[in-house]
Structure 1
Amino acid sequence: MVDRSLLPPSFEEVSGICKEVLDDVIGQKPYQHAEVVKWNQTAVEKITEKLAGLGRPYKYCLCCVVMQTGLGAGLNVSSTCYWDKNTDHTFAYRWESRAVIAVCNVYAISMSGK
């Protein structure tokens, strides 16, 4: 039997945490340019805190892009890492309200030393 405390977080866990935090921090608020920096900083801090709270042997890096919807602007987010594909993982989660789109990229880097 595999010890789940040693496994990386699943996409369901990561997306659930991202959704919960973004619903709480931004929710259905209208886009407010003056507030976006605070929303984004609060969201990445809370998401990282909750991921670390899972107690898994992973370090987490998080990047979140927050933008206003309805402008007809396109958004393309791409990233890459040089790491161990067997132990390290990346997750992308898109969250959307009527006024705001957020894209979170979460990187889970194993501390197991395998």
Structure 2
Amino acid sequence: MSMMDPSEEFPEEDIQTIVKPAIAQLLNGVQFNPSKVNDWCNTIIDTCLKELQSLSKPYKYVITCVMMQKNGGGMTTSAACYWDGAKDGKTRVPFENDTMHCIVTVYGLSVNIDTKDDEV
């Protein structure tokens, strides 16, 4: 099995620096409004995808955004993936303000495919 070039490892820190401001710029100081949740989620996802493309990393990205009004109830999310744990990755970015919770998860699926020449 080949070793990945370190520059091609899942860029979790880079992703965090993209997603955190995308959420905060949109939701800081905003009151929860159910009629705006869909637009807010789409804006966060679109902003993040554009910025992630600019990283020019060998990944296809999948982004989810979950928002919930803060009303004392619990919030649980779960995901299962079948992938190459050495190349693929995910990062979760939570956010909350006085009226809402938001969790953005970014999955990175490596587009580098090993060939028989790469095997040892």
Asked if these proteins are the same fold (TM beyond 0.5), I'd say yes
Give the ranges of 4+ consecutive aligned residues of structure 1 lying more than 4 Å apart after TM superposition.
none
- The separation in 1 between residues aligned to 2:11 and 2:90, in whole angstroms, is 10
Deviations 1:75-107 (A, max 9, x none): 110101111111100111111112221111110
Aligned to 1:8: 10
For 2:9 and 2:91, the matched residues in 1 are separated by 15
Amino acid in structure 1 at the alignment position of 2:9: L
Instruction: Give unmatched runs, 5+ long, in structure 2.
Output: 115-120
Mapped partners of 2:101, 2:54: distance in 1: 26
Q: Is the Cα contact below 8 Å between 1:68 and 1:101 reproduced in 2?
A: yes
Q: Secondary structure at the match of 2:112?
A: coil
Say whether residues 1:40 and 2:41 are aligned partners.
yes
What count of residue pairs does the alignment treat as equivalent?
Answer: 110
SS at match of 2:44: helix
Q: Which SS does the other structure have where 2:60 is aligned?
A: strand
Q: In 1, distance between residues paired with 2:17 and 2:48?
A: 10
Amino acid at match of 2:52: L
What TM-score does the superposition give when structure 1 sets the normalisation length?
0.89
Tell me the residue number matched to 1:72. Answer: 72
8 Å CA contact 1:21–1:46 kept in 2: the answer is yes
Q: Which amino acid letter does the alignment assign opposite residue 15 of structure 1? A: Q
Task: For 2:46 and 2:14, locate their aligned partners in 1 and report how far apart those are by CA, in whole Å.
Answer: 17
The answer to whether the 8 Å contact 1:28/1:99 transfers is no
Structure 1: runs of 5 or more not aligned: none
Query: What do residues 42-90 of structure 1 show as CA deviations (whole Å, max 9, x unaligned)?
Result: 1011112111211101000011101111x11111101011111111001
RMSD after superposition: 1.3
CA distance in 2, matches of 1:67, 1:3: 37
Residue 3 of structure 1: how far off its partner (Å): 5.6
CA distance in 1, matches of 2:22, 2:6: 27
Amino acid at match of 2:93: Y
